[in-house]
Amino acid sequence: MEIIKIIGIGLTSLVIIIILKQYKPEFTIYASIIAGLIILTLSLTQISGVINLLQDLASKANINSKFLGIILKITGIAILTEFAVSICQDSGESAIASKIDIGGKVIIITISLPIISSLLETIITVLP
């Protein structure tokens, strides 16, 4: 199971970071980034099954494939933004973390505009 690997890497990294804090605190951020990238890579390998399922459901429901692509981009942006925010917070840079968070949200809203406009058009046609 992948979750066992992820938890194992996380806990091992935690122990390494705690030890590094005592002797070389400047290296803790590097250990945190490497552990985060490994965990992110393991997590993303599982996403192909989800993408295939969503494509099948979208084709059965006659949903525009453009919208599915937008949803996947939004999900990717959210995951990467959260990863960057966590790294910044671990480094003690909460101000930069909040700016990255806001930037990610703005980009998500911008990318989602075609879905929002299509939804509004559908609502307008349904309402009398």
Q: Is the pLDDT of residue 1 over 80?
A: no
For residue 96, name the pLDDT band (cuts at 50, 70, 90): very high
Q: What is the 3-state composition of the chain as percent helix, strand, coil, each rounded to the nearest 5?
A: 90, 0, 10
Q: Backbone phi, then psi, for 91, in 5-degree steps?
A: -85, -5
What is the arithmetic mean of pLDDT over 79-94? 89
Report, as an integer, the average pLDDT of 30-56.
Answer: 85
CA angle in degrees (0–180, nearest 5) for 101-104-107: 150
The pLDDT assigned to 54 comes to 83
Contact 97, 81 (CB under 8 A): no
pTM of the model: 0.76
pLDDT confidence of residue 122: 87
18 pLDDT above the threshold of 80: yes
pLDDT 10s digits, 107-128: 999 999 999 998 899 899 988 7
pLDDT score of 45? 79
